[in-house]
Amino acid sequence: MKSTDLKKLGGGREADRLAELAAKALAGTAADAGLLDVALGGLESPVGELLVAVTPRGLAYVAFEDEERDELLARLSRQLSPRILEHPKATDEVRRQLDEYFAGDRTRFELKLDRRLMRGISRDVLAATARVPFGRTTTYGTLAERIGRPRASRAVGNALGSNPIPIVVPCHRVLRAGGDVGGYAGGPSRKRRLLTLEGSLPTGARGA
């Protein structure tokens, strides 16, 4: 018997493949045991690949594909829980409703939201944002008034820029007073794309 024989008992390449499968299966095992605090799932969309994070309380995060993934996970780990795994099944409902929205079959999301990543004034701003309906837009100033802080339009802009649940909490429906689309965490072109999809911008319209 040689020690090289012993080494083979580890399964060689085959072990890597099996480890991959076992790791995938772990998310389900963990969820069944009530030990999965943040489930991740991905989907394709007209604004690129999206990553969604769902907790037992609801949808906590929607990320565009250009967001740095390791950094994002580290942040979710710190601010929600380190018990994070890819578990697309737990995000099925969110992904289904997003698919319907992008297909033009849904104008309102019916999802529980986990608002723990919204801090301070952002909660109020984003709660007001959530009431702007599909196909309509508002302005930073109007939103500032609506939360009772008419001079806080800069704070409103910051709150929208840090919206952890874009698309579902429709910060893309908040524009500059002059009609320019203004900024967007996912970039202005995505904002225009979403507004066009909702019929709020004529196709091919250009923002600021």
Partner 1 sequence: MRHRSHVVRGVVASQAVELPPFSEFLEEHKGTVFRFLMAAVGPHEADDAFQETFVAALRAYPRLTDASKLDRWVLRIASRKAIDHHRAAGRRAIPSGDLPEHPAAPGGRAELDGDLRAAVASLPPKQRVAVVHRHVLDRSYADVAEVMGISEEAARANVYQGVKKLRELMT
Tell whether residue 81 is a contact of partner 1 (CB under 8 A): yes
Query: Please, which contacts does 178-184 make with residues 24 or more away whose CB atoms are closer than 8 Å?
Result: 180/207, 180/208, 181/207, 181/208, 182/140, 182/157, 182/207, 182/208, 183/157
CA distance linking residue 111 with residue 97, whole number of Å: 8
Task: Give the span between the Cα atoms of 19 and 168, in whole angstroms.
Answer: 35
Please report whether residue 30 would count as binding partner 1 according to CB under 8 A: yes
Please, which residue, 21 or 202, has the CB nearer to partner 1? 21
The reply on whether position 19 binds partner 1 by CB under 8 A is yes
Cα(202)–Cα(192) distance, rounded to whole angstroms?
10
Q: Is 171 a catalytic residue?
A: yes
3 binds partner 1 (CB under 8 A): yes
Nearer to partner 1, 52 or 194 (CB): 52
Look at the chain and count its residues: 208
Task: Decide if residue 42 touches partner 1 (CB under 8 A).
Answer: no
Candidates 58-66, 74-82, 120-128, 174-182; binding stretch for partner 1 (CB under 8 A):
74-82
Q: Which of 171, 174, 175, 201 is catalytic?
A: 171
- Binding partner 1 (rule: CB under 8 A), the pick from 58, 77, 121, 139 is 77
Q: Which residues are catalytic?
A: 171
